[in-house]
Chains A and B, each alone.
Chain A
Amino acid sequence: MKTTFNCVLLVDDDPTSNFLTDKMLLKFGMANHTHLAMNGERALDFLDEQAAVDKTLSEHWPELILLDINMPIMDGFEFLDAWVGKVFEDKVPPKVFLLTSSDSKFDLDKAQKYPIQGYINKPLSREKLDMLN
């Protein structure tokens, strides 16, 4: 049974990658809508903004975050550092997957230290979409 996420937050500075991920999610009915953030800082801003919105109206609160690692200003790991300590009252914490072109051991090892649901190598394909369930 395939899950459909209401809102998916894409955190990535690469527009082409975002275009692809967005297209895949919508095409295979994995998301009702997506929101883009160009780096970790903008993602945090978005989450703070949405957290302030009333529970009943918060249709943009993401159920899933797809997070790139290499980004300017605030990279994926820096985002996770900030994210882990944050409490969003009344909100269900979203699933977090790293979606990255890095397959370096260094990044993989580092990713193990965070409470995330998985590590996916780009590009997102139909098979890899199943991992998100």
Chain B
Amino acid sequence: MDQIADFFSNLLGMDYWPARWHCGIWTPFHGWLYILSSFMIAAAYITIPFVLFQFVRKREDLPFVRIFWLFIAFILACSATHFIDGLIFWTPVYRLSALILFCTAIISWMAVFGIWRILHDALALKSPMQLESIISMRTKELAETNLRLKKINSDMDNYVYAASHDLKSPINNMEGLLNLILDEAIAGQVPETDLIEKVQSCVLRVQRTIENLTDVVKIQKNPYDDKETLPIESIVQEIMVENEGLFLKNKVDIHLDLSLPELYYSASGLKSILYNLITNAAKYAKKEGQADIWIRTYKHNEAFVLEVEDNGIGIDLNRHGEKLFGLFKRFNTDVEGSGIGLYFTRQLVEKMGGEIEVESSPGKGSLFRVVFNPQNITNQ
């Protein structure tokens, strides 16, 4: 204890040691090499904290500010030890030197623990390059979402336009017909039965349109939770039975070539897709001769592909290609239709990440190809 008390009470005491110049034999070269190097290190060690201080002050968002302060203190302490080391050549303040060394030791170990503690978090910090790639990835995701939303928006616009057209037409007709009936009634005539029957058929058309629109809305919401393994052939047979009249009338012959006989998919979805494609192929058959429909399944690039090909009247894709899958779009006035089947089919396929494409030439026939998204048709 006496030693400690003596140490601190006479911290700057220089009585017990000679100045370093006189301790041992120093050539001037050796001495000055030691002294100048020490002072230069000390000077550099003062400059570094100054720069760090400026850095910390200007970068307000800097993470781990405390470790910077710790390093500033550590480097300043190191500077002091080297300064004293040089100074001792003239003023042998060995006690002060020991104290400063001790302080430096404490601060350097604090720095070691400090940096150890933040190591994990610091490693998690993203480099500017990583940040840039994250930003570009997020930007890409946003652009894709934006595109998807735009498509939904334009689908919605088309839907509203088509729906309002198909509802307004029969209602406008009813208005006109009722005006005629009223005119006749005012003139004291018995209204023609023909007019009233026409009003009735308008009412039926409104009802049918509303049913179709409800179906369209249903499909937008369908969660496709009725997935199961579906045998294609038996679905085709079901469709043939349900449309026997049409198939007989147009002399339809169906040819199956199913190298993949089953598909794991939404039961109602697949039935609708096949129903629309097959009945379309049967409906738009040529007036003469036999109507052939080929239904094929196969694997292409890991994807399940379904094809429905016919030798019917075909479609002029150059003219109608863009509208082909549009809601309430029709390309033929000779055959009954609502203009909803292919719109429906496209929705059913695309909602599950699949694609539908068409090849066709007028007078030769059409081929509709559905490529199912591999991710959505696996059982696992």
Interface residues of B (CB under 8 A from A): 161, 164-165, 168-170, 172-173, 175-177, 179-180, 198, 201-202, 320, 328-333, 339
- Kindly identify which residue among B161, B165, B172, B180 contacts A17, using a CB–CB cutoff of 8 Å: B172
Is B175 touching A16 in the complex (CB atoms < 8 A)? no
- Using a Cβ cutoff of 8 Å, how many contacts connect chains A and B? 59
**Is A56 in contact with chain B by the CB < 8 A criterion?**
no
Interface segment out of the listed A58-66, A83-91, A101-109: A101-109
A39 adjacent to chain B (CB < 8 Å): yes
CB distance from A109 to the nearest CB of B (A): 13
Is A17 a contact partner of B173 (Cβ separation < 8 A)? yes
Q: Which residues of A contact B164 (CB under 8 A)?
A: 102, 104
Partner of A16, one of B161, B177, B328, B332: B177
15 CB-based A-B contacts, threshold 8 Å = A14-B169, A14-B173, A16-B201, A20-B176, A20-B177, A39-B333, A72-B330, A73-B331, A73-B332, A101-B165, A102-B165, A103-B168, A104-B161, A122-B172, A123-B173
A117 sits at the interface (CB 8 A): no
> How far, in whole Å, are A124 and B176 apart by their CA atoms in the complex?
7
Question: In the complex, which residues of chain B have a beta carbon less than 8 angstroms from the beta carbon of A106?
Answer: 161
Q: Determine the chain A residues whose CB is within 8 A of the CB of B170 once the complex forms.
A: 16
Report the 3 A-B pairs with minimum CB-CB distance, sorted nearest first: A123-B176, A72-B330, A20-B176
Contact A122 B333 (CB under 8 A): no
Residue in A closest to B199 when the chains form the complex, CB atoms? A16
Q: In the docked arrangement, what's the CA distance between A17 and B177, Å?
A: 9
Closest beta carbon of chain B to A12's beta carbon, Å: 10
For residue A114, give the distance in angstroms from its CB to the closest CB of chain B: 19
A42 to B329, CA, bound (A): 18
Known: A101-B172, A104-B164. A20 touches B180 (CB 8 A): yes
Q: Which of A13, A72, A124 has the most CB atoms of chain B within a 10 A radius of its CB?
A: A72
- Whole-angstrom CA separation of A72 from B202 in the bound complex: 19
Q: What A residues does B177 contact at CB under 8 A?
A: 16, 20
- A residues in contact with B333, CB < 8 Å: 13, 38-39, 72-73
The CA of A123 and the CA of B164, in the complex, are separated in Å by: 15
Query: Would you give the shortest CB distance from B226 to chain A, in whole angstroms?
Result: 34
Q: Is A70 an interface residue (CB 8 A)?
A: yes
- State the main secondary structure of chain B at its contact with A: helix
> Separation in Å of the A44 CB from the closest CB of chain B?
13
Is residue A133 contacting chain B, with contact meaning CB distance below 8 A?
no
Chain B residue numbers with a CB within 8 Å of A24 are 176
Q: How far is the CB of A16 from chain B (nearest CB, A)?
A: 4
* Complex interface: chain A residues within 8 A of B198 (CB): 16, 19
**90-104 of chain A: CB within 8 A of chain B:** 101-104
Contact of A72 among B165, B176, B201, B331 (CB under 8 A): B331
Q: Using a CB-CB cutoff of 8 Å, which residues 111-133 of chain A contact chain B?
A: 121-125
Pair B169/A122 contact, Cβ less than 8 Å: yes
Asked if A55 CB lies within 8 Å of chain B CBs, one says no
Query: Which residues from B are CB-within-8-Å of A39?
Result: 333
Which residue of A is nearest B198, CB measured?
A: A16
- Knowing A16-B201, A70-B165, the reply to whether A125 touches B332 (Cβ < 8 A) is no
Q: Mark A23-59, 1 if CB is under 8 A from B, else 0.
A: 1100000000000001100000000000000000000
Complex: chain A residue closest to B320, CB-CB:
A73
Q: B164, B165, B331 — which one has the most chain A CB atoms within 10 A of its CB?
A: B165
Given A17-B169, A101-B165, are A72 and B179 also a contact pair (CB < 8 Å)?
no
* Cα of A12 to Cα of B328 in the assembled complex, Å: 15
Chain A residue with the shortest CB-CB distance to B168:
A101
Which of B172, B177, B198 counts the most chain A CB atoms within 10 A? B172
Q: B331 and A16: CB pair below 8 A?
A: no
Query: A124 — which chain B residues lie within 8 A by C-beta?
Result: 176
A20 x B173 contact (CB < 8 A): yes
Contact of A125 among B179, B320, B330, B331 (CB under 8 A): B179
Q: A72-B331, A73-B333 are in contact. Are A123 and B172 (CB under 8 A)?
A: yes
Chain B neighbourhood of A103, CB < 8 A: 168
CB-defined contacts of A121 to chain B, threshold 8 Å = 172
